[in-house]
Structure 1
Amino acid sequence: MSSFIVLKAFRRKNQGISSTMLSLYSSSTIKASFHSSFPPLRSSPPPLSVGSHIRLVKRDHSVAAASGGVSMSTNRDSHGSSSQVAEPFFRSVLGQMETVYLNRNPTPRSVLELVRSVDDEQLCYDHLAFRTFGIGGYGIDSLASFFLDYGYTQMDELRFPAKKLRALWFAPPHASAVPGGSGVDGPLPRVFISELLVEQMSTQTQDVIRRYTETSPNGRKYAALSSALGSLPWEKPLSSEFEQLARESEYAAWTLANGYALNHVTISVHRLKSHLNKIKKLNQFFEEKGFKLNSEGGVLKVSPDGGLLQSSTVADSISFKFSDGVTKSIPCSYIEFAERLVLPQFQNVPESDIKEFHRRDGFEVGNADKIFESTNQEQLSRRTG
């Protein structure tokens, strides 16, 4: 593999557009830092299945599902796609994020392989999810700018007071799937980005987070690069500071050690063509295969309106070498499953004519709150329990 593969980022603001341009490079310094903490990457991601061509269609209907005071409005007139950068480049960056994710996490890789072994049609992602620190420009906006520049549209905000988190989700632009493409080459997925409300944390936790973000003030500009490389935008943490954060917020500790790495990808269950296209059957299938699913609030998380059904595996663990030389097993990432049911007003539409806009859109605070627990120690302990 060439010693130069991932990124130089710059902004272009001409003719009323703003786009984040990424060209892949990797210096020996970045590689050395990355390989000292994580296993080496394969030169290319595992093969994805080949299937039918699916095109995202305009969502011009709405559904309201209130939870915790958050409105799940999904009215859209357009996705405001103004990017003039080639879509293949955008997908190549997503593909590198996916490669890092699959190489670090054997459970998602095995899950995808098993689904493809049963359902060899196109496998679609419902959404990609990331975690951030809401301080010093390192929060949601640091990653959102990359997706907004490629035509994504900001949608609803979700609040999680007990976890001291907020999140935004972003709708994809009108883009055709790559012919025969699956995963990041299929219909573009939604994007869910959360951030820790750092100023609501204890003084000790704030001090630790500031120590890393303030000593790397420009790291926030390269969030997408950090995710694609699998490299932290700040210095590797001390093991004692990781543990300190974990005592107050496991989300904070996860983000300190994993940075902008994909927290999870989500399989769009209803788009499967086999008998696994119902989430209850999919959950049963994986439990019978010995996979541990997140049991917080029950294995199946259902929105109050009954239209959004979600579940997830328990996160994998990875051996991480901290800056003080201590090596520990820490939580990494997991894979989620989501089934979006047909909205009541479209119940009479023939099944063969059902499109994505006929289905429940958006996210749900109650469901997401439980899905966050997939990286918590209580769930991870079930692997060996």
Structure 2
Amino acid sequence: MHFEEQEPLDFVLNDLFAHYRQHVTDVSKITNSLLAKAIIQEQADIVNDHIAFRTLGVPHLGIASFEKIFLAYGYTRKDYFYFEEKKLNAYWYAPANPDYPRIFVSELIIEALSPAVQAIIHRYTDAIVVDPVDTLDLQNGQKVANFLQKPLWALPTSEEYTTLLAESEYAAWAIYNRYYLNHYTISIHALPEGYNTLEAFNAFLESIGIKLNSSGGKIKTSADGLLRQSSTVSALYDATFADGKMLPIAGSYVEFAERGVLPKFADLPKADIRPEHRREGFEANNADKIFESTYTTQITGEAK
């Protein structure tokens, strides 16, 4: 993923990806293997289906705040999703230009958590008394990029993190990682023959030692069969907490999406198929399992 930096959005996306790629080793491992096999000629040949962010549903933050950035760049809010078990709200956003990735933003429903966990989250977020996005010059790509890498609250203690983790792995991830890019997504159907189905691509991934999220099966399929998704599991990295203690915690991961051709376009020659001919949007059941790419059970294979 790389965009010529002509607009603020280009700068923001490039900066997000640069930090993400630096910290998620699977990104370069996958890209380098694709390059070595001449499946792609450069990173820019990979079509990015979407990127995703996690937020906390507290005053002045959450989706209502975060979405202002991408709405200012011409994105349109689309479908709403509710994840009851994980206590999440989410929306996805469509770009004005199809060359840009979709955006998926989720939000933890804080009031659905236990009083003890709510208290920890509010201890760090209550100091935010105005929406920080409202003070940003959204047409200055550098400032927005810096904001997305800037901590909005202090680091938690290791004990607080562990308490969050026991009840909501999403809460623990978000309180430590803040607005860090949660994942980017390779459009599998856009790859050359032999690698353009999830069965083939997953086999390729596992052949180079990539571990896949197995929650709900390695391939998660929408009810209509037209949106199929897989993902890696996050690596663990050593994180230092406010009390000076270090714990291994989940980082980010890589997703893979295969969007099928809509039935009304089934007779189109392959060479004529464009993005608008394929299945759009997201699927709650798929996304529910993809969230678990940062969960302990997927990373270690053991119950938390």
Normalised by the length of structure 1, the TM-score is 0.72
In the other structure, the counterpart of 1:39 is none
**Is 1:197 equivalent to 2:109 in the alignment?**
yes
Q: Give the Cα–Cα distance (whole angstroms) in 1 for the partners of residues 197 and 259 of structure 2.
A: 10
In the other structure, the counterpart of 2:73 is 150
In the other structure, the counterpart of 2:157 is 238
In the other structure, the counterpart of 1:164 is 87
Q: Give the Cα–Cα distance (whole angstroms) in 2 for the partners of residues 333 and 282 of structure 1.
A: 20
Answer yes or no: is the 8 Å Cα contact 1:133–1:255 preserved in 2.
Answer: yes
State the aligned residue count: 289
In the other structure, the counterpart of 2:128 is 216
Answer yes or no: is the 8 Å Cα contact 2:92–2:104 preserved in 1.
Answer: yes
- The one-letter amino acid of 2:47's match is C
- The one-letter amino acid of 2:54's match is R
**Structure 1 spans left out of the alignment, 5+ residues:** 1-47, 51-85, 176-186
**Is 1:253 equivalent to 2:172 in the alignment?**
yes
Matches within 5 A, 1:115-130: 115-118=34-37, 119-121=39-41, 122-130=45-53
In the other structure, the counterpart of 1:174 is 97
Higher helix share: 2
**Is 1:381 equivalent to 2:304 in the alignment?**
no
Pairwise CA distance, 1:137: 2.2
Answer yes or no: is the 8 Å Cα contact 1:128–1:192 preserved in 2.
Answer: yes
Partner SS for 1:335: strand
Normalised by the length of structure 2, the TM-score is 0.90
Pairwise CA distance, 1:364: 0.3
In the other structure, the counterpart of 1:139 is 62
**Is 1:364 equivalent to 2:287 in the alignment?**
no
Larger radius of gyration: 1
Identity across matched positions, percent: 41
- The one-letter amino acid of 2:52's match is A
Q: Give the Cα–Cα distance (whole angstroms) in 1 for the partners of residues 84 and 132 of structure 2.
A: 25
- The one-letter amino acid of 1:102's match is R
Matches within 5 A, 1:27-66: none
- The one-letter amino acid of 1:249's match is S
- Structure 2 residue corresponding to 1:308, chosen from 224, 227, 233: 227
In the other structure, the counterpart of 1:290 is 209
Q: Tell me the alpha carbon deviations over residues 214-259 of structure 1, each in whole angstroms, 9 at most, x when there is no partner.
A: 1233574269546642x32111111111111111100000000000
Answer yes or no: is the 8 Å Cα contact 2:213–2:290 preserved in 1.
Answer: yes
Partner SS for 2:213: coil
- Structure 2 residue corresponding to 1:348, chosen from 234, 257, 267: 267
RMSD: 2.0
Answer yes or no: is the 8 Å Cα contact 2:56–2:110 preserved in 1.
Answer: yes
In the other structure, the counterpart of 2:241 is 322
Cα distance 1:87–1:217, how it changes in 2: closer, same or farther (>3 A)?
A: farther
Q: Which runs of 4+ in 1 moved over 3 A?
A: 216-220, 222-228
- The one-letter amino acid of 2:40's match is D
Q: Tell me the alpha carbon deviations over residues 305-342 of structure 1, each in whole angstroms, 9 at most, x when there is no partner.
A: 00000000011222211111111111000000000000
Answer yes or no: is the 8 Å Cα contact 1:97–1:227 preserved in 2.
Answer: no
Q: Give the Cα–Cα distance (whole angstroms) in 2 for the partners of residues 166 and 116 of structure 1.
A: 37
Q: Give the Cα–Cα distance (whole angstroms) in 1 for the partners of residues 97 and 2 of structure 2.
A: 22
- The one-letter amino acid of 1:381's match is T
Cα distance 1:330–1:224, how it changes in 2: closer, same or farther (>3 A)?
A: farther
Partner SS for 2:7: helix
Q: Give the Cα–Cα distance (whole angstroms) in 2 for the partners of residues 146 and 310 of structure 1.
A: 27
Partner SS for 1:276: coil
Pairwise CA distance, 1:105: 1.2
